[in-house]
Every structure is written in structure tokens, then in C-alpha cells.
Amino acid sequence: MAESQADNEEHDAILKMRMDAMLNSSPASFLSLVGALFAVYVYWSPSTAIPLIAWQLVITAVAVTNLVSTLLYARNRPQRWGARSWARFVCVMHLVSGLAWGVGGAWMLTFANENQAVLTLSIGMAAVTVSIPSVVYLRAYNLFHLPIFWTYALGLALSTLQFKWLIASGFFLMGAFAIIIGRALGDQLSNALHLSMENKRLAERLKDRGAELEAANRQLEIESHTDPLTGVANRRRLMSFARAVRGRCALLVVDIDHFKSYNDSFGHVEGDTCLVAVAAALERSIRPDVDLLARLGGEEFAVVLNGVSAEEASTIAERMRVNIEALKSARRARIKRDVTVSIGLAVRGADETRSLAALMEQADVAVYRAKSEGRNRVCIGGDVEGNRNVA
């Protein structure tokens, strides 16, 4: 059933492309008005006036209908009409037009002199030539040209023209061969339409695939720079961000106090919950899109504060310490016991060029000093070496 639906959709899409080609050529109907006026002028006489006027009105009505239908089609009116409805309408109009030209021309040929016959045959052949775009929809093309060729052949057979049977046979054969030629051209155009549809589908698939790959690449980029547990940046992202920071900044190293005992007491699942809560508290304490929070590993985090002075950095670090200390009282954090952090701070002035590694070393020293001085505090790094053996 899925294949049948897909085939129907493809058939309708190709049929719409055929209707586009045919209806866009409908302005050529204006030429039929000119041809009809020439014929009326050549054949006009008191005895033929009424039939000629009636025939002219039919040709005019068909031409106007074709032109109006083109405007309606371009505006998608009526909206309930799909490609199949327009195809039926086009077939009817081609049949009516072919009969109008064929029957009218055949009638004129029955009493035409040689000069009049030449004009009539020329107008008929011009009408068939102008209708060649209709070969994209072979049914409509045949409904137009066959009435012209074969009724012309009948009119020639009934005429008094010299070589009438020879000319009539030629027109009959042209109608038959037009079917064969039209089928060949129609098959080629159908193949071209199929290829066009395939190319369009392929382009859409490539576009969708490109969008999927782009999204996957973005996700991989995010994952390659994100800590999978806490969702904050990882060490790689920290290094990239820090290299881009110029001038004044601060680097904070944040270490959770007694985290090993927390894990031992409550298990690694609760330990992970604690890490996530601490990361969220740290992230709430910094400026989005300006500063960066990263997890260095284990219970240790780093924060880069961009464009801050030592005083501003100390204020932010203290805010971090307070926010984490308050986690136990926040039910949403699901912390099992009081959690505190020791924070080491290193500041780079506007005119300094110290690297991230140098700042990290200084902040790391400050963290160990904060632990040695009792934990749950902020220490600013300097030249004083801290005790690195604090548990």
C-alpha cells in the first residue's frame, strides 16, 4: 500500500508538471483568433456569413477559456482542483478546440478554391504546430491534432480540388504518424520529468541528510567539549576558552571538601548527584556567555572570569562558596549532608600575559592553602606555596 501511495503521489506530481507546461503555453490561443479572422475574411460571402460567425464565436470562446484557465491555474483557483481535475479539463478543451478547427476547416475545404484551400491548410498546420507543447500530455495532444488532421482529410476528399485524394491521404497519414511521433516525444519528455522528480527527491534527501549531519556534527562538537555528568564544559573547552581570553581575567579552582567521605558514606550515585548540584550552583553564580565553568575531573572545577578585577573575582568566588554551602537547605538539590568547597583564586591584570597554565598553578596553590586553613573558604593565590598534602 505504501508503494501504491508513493506511485500515486509521483504520478500526480508529474501530471502537475505536465499541466504547468501546457497551461503556461495557453497564451498561444491568441494566435487562433488571428487565424480565425483570416479564414473568415477569405471565405466571407452572404451564403457563408452565419456559419462563419458561429464558427468564429466558438473559436473565440475556446481561446478566451484557455486564457482565463491559465490565469486561474496560476492563482491556484479553484483550490479544490488538483492535477487530475486540471488534466480532465485540459483534455476537454483540447478536444473542443480540435473539433472546432477540424470541423470548421473541413467544411471550408468542401467548397474552397485552391487559394482558399492553401490558407485553410496553412492555418490548420499552424494550429497543430503551436500545440506541440501539448505533447507532454499525449492524451490531450491526440485529442487536438487528430480531429484536425482526419476531418481535414475528410473535407479534402469531399472537395473539388485537384489531387484531393492525394492530399487527403497525406493528411490522414500525418495524423497517424503524429500519434507515433507524439508518443516518442512524450516518452522522452516523461523520462525527463521522471528524472527531474528523481533529482528533486535526491536533492531533498541530500538536503535532509546534510541537515542531519550538521546537527550530528553540532552534537558531537557539544559532546566533545562537555562533561557528560554535570553538563558543564570539560577541560578541552576550558583550554580553548582560556586561550581566547585576552587581558584582565581571573581563574578559580573549586574543590569540594571531603568529597571522598561523601562517596564512601552515600555511594557513587549520590556522589554524582552532589557533583551535579554543585555544578549547577557554580553556574548560577557566573555570567552566562561571558564566563566559563568547567569540570577538571573528580570533585574539582575551574572557572574563568573574563574582564574582572581581583575584588570582583573575590566577590564572585565568595558568592559561589555561599551558594554551595546553602545546598543542603535546598530540597531540590537532594544533598545528603552539608557540602562546602575550597576555592583558589588567581588574577591576571590587564597588562599581564601569564598563560592559563601559570594561572592554574597559582590557583591550585591557593586551593591547597584554603584547605590547610580549615576549608570552606576562598584564598587568593600569590607567591606563597600552600601545603599540597592536605586531605
Q: Which residues are catalytic?
A: 299
Strand spans (E) along 247-385: 249-256, 292-297, 300-306, 341-348, 378-380
How many whole angstroms separate alpha carbon 153 and alpha carbon 199?
Answer: 44
Q: Which residues contact 373 (CB under 8 A, 6 or more apart)?
A: 379
| Grid cell locating 369 | 592553602
* Closest C-alpha to 148, from 103, 87, 204: 103
| Grid cell locating 203 | 536533492
Q: CB neighbours (10 Å) of residue 70?
A: 17
Q: Are 343 and 305 in contact (CB under 8 A)?
A: no
Q: CB neighbours (10 Å) of residue 74?
A: 11
Q: What does residue 41 show for φ and ψ, rounded to 5 degrees?
A: -60, -45
Q: Are 321 and 338 in contact (CB under 8 A)?
A: no
* Closest C-alpha to 103, from 42, 148, 164: 148
Helices H / strands E in the chain, number of each: 12, 5
Strand spans (E) along the chain: 249-256, 292-297, 300-306, 341-348, 378-380
| Grid cell locating 247 | 587581558
Helix (H, G, I), strand (E, B) or coil at 48: coil
